Amino acid sequence: MAMIELGFGRQNFHPLKRKSSLLLKLIAVVFAVLLFCEFLIYYLAIFQCNWPEVKTTASDGEQATREPVLKAMFLADTHLLGEFLGHWLDKLRREWQMERAFQTALWLLQPEVVFILGDIFDEGKWSTPEAWVDDVERFQKMFRHPSHVQLKVVAGNHDIGFHYEMNTYKVERFEKVFSSERLFSWKGINFVMVNSVALNGDGCGICSETEAELIEVSHRLNCSREHYPLYRRSDANCSGEDAAPPEERDIPFKENYDVLSQEASQKLLWWLQPRLVLSGHTHSACEVHHGGRVPELSVPSFSWRNRNNPSFIMGSITPTDYTLSKCYLPREDVVLIIYCGVVGFLVVLTLTHFGLLASPFLSGLNLLGKRKTR
């Protein structure tokens, strides 16, 4: 009897061991593919990006000085989903993608300043106060950054609405979180941040206030050139007390709908005289030249929700020169193909393990054996 009971115990042990072995294999494969697709693939993609080189030596008479280079990242149209149109799975997937991409870029590239060019939220133009607080908390978690990295945000039409639907409450709510500064200076470089939604006119008070602020920024920039003849403008009327050193200017601004009106564009170019314009909104990259000399680059969307191949712009900028390059994030279709391939592999592995499908490896050996015996 003892031998019979022992025999039954051995018979029950082998299937259990086989099931445990299969489970461990499945867990190992699932863990490996999750680790790669949700973490390592971002390092693999962004590791290939490098800061573009820019000339850093400026000659001043007999002396040559090395200009400081500012490393700036420009991204746009994150469109964090809200409570009305955002499905929880869509939120989880796309926001995780942006968080991992941003945090990986910070760690690998070490930028000094990051600009987000509008449409941070998808439903900011109509979100309730409670939903707004939730959206802001999610944004701050996703785009957390060290204290030495500056994060500058420009409002877009999805954040405060188009000119015909925005109001003082929406604008103040946004600026309370993201600041209302128009002029940001670092390492001898001025960045003018323009919410171009408010440049449509139509007699709205907010639009008039925006124009007045831009005229004031223009005045401050012109004043900085009054004491330096190379940068002087004939219409500048400045007092020496508020003058700043001469600095070149870059304008990251958010386009209104597809493009700004020609009148608004001409006003901006005349007031600010930029050497480079960076904008968002279109979700795609394109380049135009204003007057044949001022380039404007539209920054693609940072989210898989808007593009299969999101990207961001890297800029190496000095007071006299700049160089830009594009850094691509992982493609969503590649990640989906990997997941589908792994699911198919796991199905084949499971069926083969239980003898429901012949092992491709064993079938190949049997086929070779049959050919040798002929």
235-268 burial: b if 16+ Cβ within 10 Å, else e: eeebeeeeeeebbbbbbbbbbbeebbeeebbebb
What confidence score (pLDDT) does residue 140 get? 96
Q: pLDDT class for 162, splitting at 50, 70, 90?
A: confident
Q: Tell me if 128 is assigned to some domain.
A: yes
Residue 219 has pLDDT above 80, yes or no: no
Q: What is the pLDDT of residues 26-66, one digit of tens each?
A: 899 999 999 999 999 999 999 999 999 987 665 555 455 67
- Mean pLDDT score, 198-205: 54
Residue 316's domain is classified under what CATH number? 3.60.21.10
> Which distant-in-sequence residues (6+ apart) come within 8 Å of 374 by Cβ?
none
Q: Confirm if 132 and 124 have CB atoms less than 8 A apart.
A: yes
Q: Tell me if 88 is assigned to some domain.
A: yes
Token pair of 39 as six digits? 């973490």
Q: What is the pLDDT of residues 314-355, one digit of tens each?
A: 999 998 899 999 999 999 999 999 999 999 999 988 888 777
Q: Tell me if 108 is assigned to some domain.
A: yes
**Burial level of 177, CB count in 10 A (0-12/13-18/19+)?**
middle
Please tell me which residue, 169 or 356, carries the higher pLDDT value.
169
Q: Tell me if 1 is assigned to some domain.
A: no
Question: What length does the chain have?
Answer: 374
Q: Domains in the chain: how many in total? A: 1
CA 262 to mean position of chain CA atoms: 28
Residue 108 lies in domain: 67-333
Q: Tell me if 369 is assigned to some domain.
A: no
Q: Tell me if 34 is assigned to some domain.
A: no
The pairing of beta strand 70-75 with beta strand 311-317: antiparallel
Q: Tell me if 276 is assigned to some domain.
A: yes
Residue the block writes with tokens 């712009």: 313
Q: Tell me if 296 is assigned to some domain.
A: yes
